[in-house]
A and B are shown apart, each in its own frame.
Chain A
Amino acid sequence: MADKTRLPQPLGMLIDRKQPITFSFENKTYSGYAGDTVASALAASNQWLLSRSFKYHRPRGVLTMAGQDANSMVQLHSDPNALADRVEITPDLEVMAQNYTGSLSRDRGARLGLLAKFLPVAFYYKAFFKPRGMWEKWAPLIRKKAGLGQINQNYQPEYFDKQYQFYDVAVIGAGPAGLCAALAAADAGAAVLLVDENAQLGGSLNYARSDLEGTQSRQMREALVARVEANVNIVAMTDATCNGWFADNWLPVIRAKRLYKVRAKQTIMCVGAIEQPAVFHNNDLPGVLLSSAALRLINLYAVRPGQSAVVLTGNNDGYTAVLDLVDAGVDVKLIVDLRDAPAYDAIAEHVCGLGIPVKIGHAVYAAQPDATGLHLGSVDVREIVSRGHCATRGEIIACDTLCMSVGYTPTYQLICQAGGQLSYDDDSAMFTLNQCPDNYYIAGSVNSLWTLEAVVADAERAAIIATNALGMSSRQIPDLIVDVQPQSPNFSWPIFAHPKGKEFVDFDEDLQIADIINATRDGYEHIQLVKRYSTCGMGPSQGRHSALTTARLVADATQRTVAQTGVTTARPPFSAEHLAHSAGRSFYPARRSNMHHRHLESGAQMLQAGAWYRPAFYGDAAARTQCINREVDNVRNNVGLVDVSTLGGIEVRGADAGEFLNRFYTFNFLKQPVGKARYALLTNEAGVIIDDGVACRFGEHHYYVTATTGGVDRVYQSMLKWNAQWRLDIDITNVTSAYAGVNIAGPRAREVLSKLVTDIDMSAVAFPYMCIREGSVAGIPARLIRVGFVGELGFEVHVPQYAGEALWDALIEAGQGQSIKPFGIEAQRVLRLEKGHIIIGQDTDAMSNPAELQMGWAVSKLKAFFVGSRTLKELGKIPLKRCLVGFVVDDPNAPIPLESHLVVDGDKMVGRVTSCNFSPTLKKPIGLAYVPPTHADAGSSFTIKSSGGSLVVAQVVDLPFYDAGNLRQEL
């Protein structure tokens, strides 16, 4: 049975009548078809009211049917501000209207409209800024009244991602110009991306007739689309929005849940033009819509726009709309032609012969609502007596639909983003675009061409220029295309002020004619200032329907031309996009040592240090302190094993390797014997400590230098930078990932390691402290370094990365009899603190120099140069301002200070704590802190402002806290 809510086929090209769908709007069930938008399905059910306006809560309905206006904003379950004329219905879709109090049809907020005269432009700025503090009281009320939809705070993130795409030519817009440009470029051999925001290729060919019979557009569309779909060089993306333009034709194209990052060698913008509304009293009532919206409803969705209509036109396109309305069974009561001397084309001539009354030189002066107050009931048609002024009396025409066809603006946003200039031609009353950047072209109606012949020729011309630039063709570039139009499609002044106002310039922000003019009278004459003062163009539709009228009004009010007035700056995004499109599928690199899974299997609590995952400690997170203390005790008394794979490793090889290190680090390395390791402290040009490690000399021309986990990349880059200047004969290679490493530490470390080493004499005499050896451990080629970071007998064992897990397994097995246990970096921090060793970045900051840290021993006084030496020499001439000292807290009842707690002297801040832990070995809190030099001597005391403001007295002690004679690490 035929659906009486829909027009007969072939109308409704986007809907599938075999697939009925039910959904709800405002908790009421509606039906539609697959392919319907929310707005079209509601319109088919005679539900025209979609939303309430932002400021006055006025009823709003379909305006464009193109997703270009805020009238159609609705609330979906997880998606506020969805466009009802873009969102396709799906089974059981729940849709709610937005921005009302009470119900959509009885919105209590609409009472604000009665106060409109007391709410002038910039009302907020004028009304709420005094007395002081008043805004804080008003703001919550105002914000409650305003607003666009609600965020679903239980939203579960969905999968959004990104993809790069590369094309010779990107064609944005798949109307007749876009289709022809894409085909011409593709036929020349270019790889073409064709993007269109609509569900179907064809643009205006889908709904707008170009000949009397109404066949030309359809046939042309079918032919062009068939050719596009058959062309292997063209990728066509529908339902996709090019949302900006960035340098070198970088185009963000959004489709569904993906952001395509398109790189195009050439871009052709065929983005068309946006039909503009007329400005008159109550021009925002549901039932007042653009002619193009009516045509879309009829042709795309088989929905009749109303029962009885008036067509307000300032061009011949209004007459074309009349034909479709009549064919759809709409009773067209009257054609109101703004022009006093219309130049008809063939279609208009034909329409004039249909017997429909036509009033030339007339305007719709006002629209009036029906009895419900929610829809158009009639229009007041009056003769135009002068520009923008009508006769005092007119004729009231009852109708439920008013179609407006008064002109267009080019869709200039993406072109202006690229540097295109917008000009205004007074003769045609139209904006035009020029001065596009290189490799960027416009074609079609965005280029102010309107006949199909001109549009096609212009598109092919752009494609020729583009493919010539690509070297894919060498065709003669045709002359600039000139359109043959009897009259401009833009009527010069479709703006009619009314004593009661409510002639809306900007529907988004409820801005009326007086608001714009008053903004200029308040001194905000520049269009950019008018925008910010009035908020005109700042709403969701970003001035698509207000920019032209605003420019005309401001120009008129300031006695300038529209060209001089211009429009506000167009910035990306072109249309609203989900934050998820920018944020979606971010990458978070993660580095894991070869032993990572062994840590997990041993119950490690992992933490992330930069990109690295490292074991913090092993055991129950709830027993953190006990676990750490147990690990410390085991290292002090037996033997522990810690993963040091994350430590940086850099090979410096070549004849000048020693000279390089000598210049790069503070110590002397020229005389470092082969087979020895030496502490390496790194300062920058400002003498600030930026890293440390150990330099191991494995050969006359071969050093293996360790660096901190977080600092190795910076050290490596710094090495490359300096040697680019010094040009020493060396090679520098970052081998951090090439080596896995452990530190086996504790009095029984040698005992364990000796079981697995057969080719190195492990005795204390043969392999003393700060010596290095190469050999094998458990059959794995290894570099061994005797170090003492944790203050015990210790060996760092560095092996090829692939064998890290095998090494770990072998050591754990070999150490069972010696009570070997793994320990994490938290225990390591405590152990090194007991030994008084600093951690770069924790105990240093952006000002720390060696003298402050009492590390003058690590700086050679004999070298002529090292990086930072000159600054340190100068710093050495002035007194120290602070010193890093070791301290203990003897009061067992005092809270343990934390890192960054302040050192105070009365009410003055004089320093800060950098490290502090309870020492399981010393059985009291120990730490490092910056204090004034006057408090730096052992035996001095200072005060720490600890948690909750409690004051803790700390005693300065000599470092290290543990094993001052270094006997244990040199066992």
Chain B
Amino acid sequence: MSVVISPTQTLRRSQLYRRHRQLGADFAQFGDSIAVDHYGDDEVSQARVLGLADLSTLPRIGFKGLGTPVWADSCGVKQPAQPNWATLQGDNTLVARLSSNELLLASNLTGSSKLIETLATATRAHRVYALPRGDSHSWLSLCGEQAANTLAKVCAIDFRAQYFTNLQIAQTSLAKINAVIVRTDIGDNLNYAIFSDSCSLEYLWDSLLDAMSEYRGRAIGLQALRDCATL
């Protein structure tokens, strides 16, 4: 017998869980997080066209300060050489370098990241300051061949695949709110990770779905993203 998982059975709740329920979401446990597994059938096909997933409950953390690059290096973090680029660690944890001395880390699609766990509790060196990115920023994943066209309706940056390459970062304004957008393709599927003000999550979700409707985009669950990664 399958166990029904409720988005409110843990303390960490996405502000979107009511909207997910309205869309008929089935939730699942991903690591320590509960997120939407799926809303309907064949979401992989949807993900290839245009999908929007809420990953806000998945782990992430940030660090900044003059000591951050050296300290992170000593902790085994593989860092991009230049700001506004990202790298993927061995376990697919995303490390985004937002400035010379600032990093944003986001877990892989299993919802767990040993690296984030380790760094969260590690003794920090002088001038290294932890940032509560899991709390301050929401995390959405916009994917599919129409993702760049969708972003063009809400943002002034050219996100087309041939101009905005994989693991490139834009720190910009999206639908009039600040956002960090990282291109993180999943398998061969175009994907943009969008980190933005956590308290504006419902607004951003609605704005993106509105922009997506022209391209028949819709919400998808985390499982579809994971399936894209393995295809």
Contacts and interface: CB of A to CB of B under 8 A. Distances in A.
A161 interface: yes
A602 interface: no
A155 interface: no
B197 interface: yes
A587 B200 CA distance: 12
A611 B175 CA distance: 13
Interface in B126-152: 127, 129, 131-132, 134-137, 149, 152
Interface in B1-27: 8, 11-15, 18
Interface in A643-675: 645, 651, 653-654
Given A164-B158, A731-B129, A737-B199, A803 B64 contact: no
Contact of B200 (A162, A589, A651, A729): A589
Given A587-B175, A587-B207, A731-B129, A737 B135 contact: yes
B155 interface: yes
A89 B137 CA distance: 50
B11 A590 contact: no
B200 A594 contact: no
B17 to A, nearest CB: 9
B153 A591 contact: no
Contacts of A739: 135
Contacts of A714: none
A755 interface: no
Given A589-B175, A779-B11, A164 B152 contact: yes
A738 B175 contact: no
Nearest to A260: B152
Given A589-B176, A731-B64, A803-B11, A163 B135 contact: no
A803 B155 contact: no
A653 B129 contact: yes
B153 A163 contact: yes
Q: How large is the interface on A (under 10, 10 to 19, 20 to 34, 35 or more residues)?
A: 35 or more
A162 B153 contact: yes
B203 A589 contact: yes
A589 B156 contact: no
B10 to A, nearest CB: 8
A802 B11 contact: yes
Given A166-B163, A738-B136, A591 B200 contact: yes
B13 A805 contact: yes
B197 A806 contact: no
A592 interface: yes
Of residues A263, A738, A780, A803, which shows the largest number of chain B Cβ atoms within 10 Å of its Cβ?
A: A738
A611 B153 CA distance: 21
Interface in A786-817: 800-803, 805-806
B13 A589 contact: no
B26 to A, nearest CB: 21
Contacts of A428: none
Contacts of A731: 64-65, 127, 129
Contact of B15 (A161, A594, A651, A733): A594
A802 B199 contact: no
Contacts of B18: 597
B155 A164 contact: yes
A218 interface: no
Contacts of B163: 166
A735 B136 contact: yes
B171 interface: no
B136 A737 contact: yes
B185 interface: no
A592 B155 contact: no
B57 interface: yes
A503 to B, nearest CB: 50
A165 B136 CA distance: 31
A699 B164 CA distance: 43
B177 interface: yes
A165 B155 CA distance: 10
Contact of B12 (A587, A651, A803): A803
B226 interface: no
A729 B160 contact: no
Contacts of B155: 164
Nearest to A162: B153
A738 B136 CA distance: 4
Contacts of B12: 802-803
Of residues B18, B136, B200, B207, which shows the largest number of chain A Cβ atoms within 10 Å of its Cβ?
A: B136
Contacts of A653: 129
Contacts of A737: 135-137, 197-200
Contacts of B177: 589
Given A164-B156, A653-B129, A802 B135 contact: yes
Contacts of A596: 15
Given A164-B156, A166-B163, A800 B132 contact: yes
B153 A161 contact: yes
A802 B13 contact: yes
Interface string B175-205: 1110000000000000000000111101100
A804 to B, nearest CB: 9
Given A654-B127, A738-B136, A163 B198 contact: no
A743 interface: no
A261 interface: yes
Nearest to B101: A731
Given A166-B158, A802-B57, A802-B134, A780 B199 contact: no
A591 B175 contact: no
A161 B175 CA distance: 12
B22 to A, nearest CB: 12
A51 interface: no
A739 B131 CA distance: 12
Interface in A770-790: 779-780
A593 interface: yes
Given A587-B176, A589-B175, A800 B199 contact: no
Contacts of A592: 15, 199-200, 202-203
Nearest to B65: A731
A590 B135 contact: no
Interface string B150-175: 00111111101001000000000001
B135 A593 contact: no
B198 A738 contact: yes
B160 to A, nearest CB: 7
Nearest to B160: A166
A163 B176 contact: no
A591 B197 contact: yes
Nearest to B204: A589
Nearest to A729: B127
B135 A800 contact: yes
Of residues A611, A739, A779, which shows the largest number of chain B Cβ atoms within 10 Å of its Cβ?
A: A611
Nearest to A165: B152
Interface in A723-739: 729, 731, 733, 735-739
Interface string A580-624: 000001011111111011000000000000011000000000000
Nearest to B153: A163
Contacts of B149: 163
A731 B15 CA distance: 29
Interface string A297-327: 0000000000000000000000000000000
Nearest to B210: A585
A781 B33 CA distance: 17
B29 to A, nearest CB: 16
A729 B127 CA distance: 8
Contacts of A735: 132, 135-136
Contacts of B176: 587-589
A735 B64 CA distance: 14
Contact of B131 (A163, A611, A612, A733): A733
Interface of B: 8, 11-15, 18, 56-57, 64-65, 127, 129, 131-132, 134-137, 149, 152-158, 160, 163, 175-177, 197-200, 202-203, 207
Given A802-B14, A802-B198, 6 more contacts: A261-B156, A589-B176, A592-B200, A739-B135, A800-B132, A802-B134
5 contacts: A589-B203, A592-B203, A801-B136, A802-B13, A802-B57
In the A-B complex, the 4 residue pairs with the smallest Cβ-Cβ separation, listed nearest first, are A738-B136, A738-B135, A166-B158, A587-B176
